[in-house]
Amino acid sequence: MTLLLGAVAYDPKVVTIWEGFCAFFAKHGLKADYVLYSNYERQVEALVAGQVHVAWNSPLAHLQTQRLAARRGWSTTAFCMRDTDQDLTSLVLVRRDDPARHLADLKGKVVAVGAPDSPQATLIPLSALAQAGLTPGEDVTVQVHDVLRGKHGDHVGGERDAVRALVRGDADAACVIDGNHLLFTREGALPAGAVRVLYQTPPYDHCVFSALSVGPAEQIHRLKELLLGMSYDDPEVRPLLDLEGLKRWREGRVSGLAQLDEAIERFGTIDGWLAEAGSRL
Q: The whole model's pTM is what?
A: 0.95
Residue 56 main-chain phi, psi, to 5 deg: -85, 100
pLDDT digit string, tens, across residues 13-62: 999 999 999 999 999 999 999 999 999 999 999 999 999 999 999 999 99
Paired with 197 in beta bridges are 93
Q: Is residue 98 domain-shared with residue 191, that is, in the same domain?
A: yes
The residues, ordered by sequence, that sit 6+ positions from 131 with a Cβ below 8 Å of its Cβ are none
Q: Average per-residue pLDDT in the chain?
A: 95
Report pLDDT for 15: 97
pLDDT digit string, tens, across residues 77-88: 999 999 999 999
**Distance (Å, rounded) from C-alpha 187 to C-alpha 190?**
8
Q: Is residue 94 domain-shared with residue 42, that is, in the same domain?
A: no
**Distance (Å, rounded) from C-alpha 241 to C-alpha 231?**
9
Cα distances (Å, whole numbers) of residue 229 to 113, 240, 280:
37, 14, 38
Q: How many domains does the chain have?
A: 2
Structure letter (DSSP) for residue 136: B
Identify the CATH number of the domain in which residue 275 sits.
3.40.190.10
Domain boundary (173, 200, 227) is at 200
Q: Taking the CB of residue 116, how many other CB atoms lie within 10 A of it?
A: 19
Report pLDDT for 262: 98
Q: Give the mean pLDDT of 109-116.
A: 96
Picking from 223, 205, 206, the residue whose alpha carbon sits closest to that of residue 215 is 223
Residue 42 CA from chain centroid, whole number: 16
Report pLDDT for 148: 65
pLDDT digit string, tens, across residues 192-221: 889 999 999 999 999 999 999 999 999 999
Q: Is residue 140 domain-shared with residue 188, that is, in the same domain?
A: yes
Is it the case that residue 149 has pLDDT exceeding 80?
no
**Which amino acid would we find at residue 137?**
G
In which band, very low, low, confident or very high, does the pLDDT at 281 lie, cut at 50, 70 and 90?
confident
Give the residue numbers spanning the domain of 150.
Answer: 90-200
